[in-house]
A = this chain, B = another copy of it.
Amino acid sequence: MKTDNSGAQETSRTKENETKGKILIAAKKIFSEYPYHTASIRMIGHAAGINHPLVAYYFSSKATLFEEVLADVCEEYYKASINWFDEISQMKASSGFRLYIERIMEFTQKHPEAVRILLLNMVQSKESDAIPCYQMLQKLYERVIPLFLKTTSAKAEYHKIEMFHHNFNTLIANYLGAGAYYAGILGVDPHGPEYQRWVRENLVSLFQPLLKRLILGVNHDPG
């Protein structure tokens, strides 16, 4: 049995946690490579180096495993976000924004799972066969808005800030999560510095001016 985790023996839980951990790591990898309905327990078992029915011993179903992975990567992303905003809180808007983009790009290169899982499962087919925990995907970026508000003390109406946020996160998610698509069009290597530079320059030049106006609360474009 794997219930009853209350205190006492520590060594006894080692084996279980080891295997469960291996499964979670493998599942994170597979679910960030294939959409939920294409990713399979067998792939995950193979990636974890175990027999696939062992997955069922630790997770009651595929949906449960997916939920746990999703909660993991969302939390990981949220905690990183807190750090980024903390780091730029004393900087001026323009340089702070540049650094924020730098951080989010570094992070996504190291931990592409959140953004990939989002892109792979965002487009729903039918309500009936929706992926588990769809709301968690919807909250992935949404939770960051309060951090933005607190750090920047932006004066613009919430409506405008929300738009900015969706635009920025949608673009960065696509450019970093579907790099092969865009880099292919641009004719560069999706993992090379050229593409990274393109994404950075693009996002900065598009959003930097807008961000300034959001923070000041200026309504219209001055051009």
For the residues of A in contact with B, the DSSP-based class is helix
* Shortest distance from the beta carbon of A119 to any chain B beta carbon, whole Å: 5
Partner of A120, one of B123, B167, B201, B218: B123
Selecting from A51-59, A83-91, A96-104, A173-181, the interface stretch reads A173-181
Count copies of this chain in the complex: 2
Chain A residues within CB distance 8 Å of chain B: 33-35, 37-38, 116, 119-120, 122-126, 134-135, 137-138, 142, 162-163, 166-167, 170-171, 174-175, 177-178, 180-182, 184-186, 198, 201-202, 205-206, 208-210, 212-213, 218, 221-223
**In the bound complex, do residue A182 and residue B208 qualify as a contact, i.e. CB atoms below 8 Å apart?**
no
In the bound complex, residues from chain B placing their C-beta under 8 Å from that of A186 are 162
* Shortest distance from the beta carbon of A114 to any chain B beta carbon, whole Å: 13
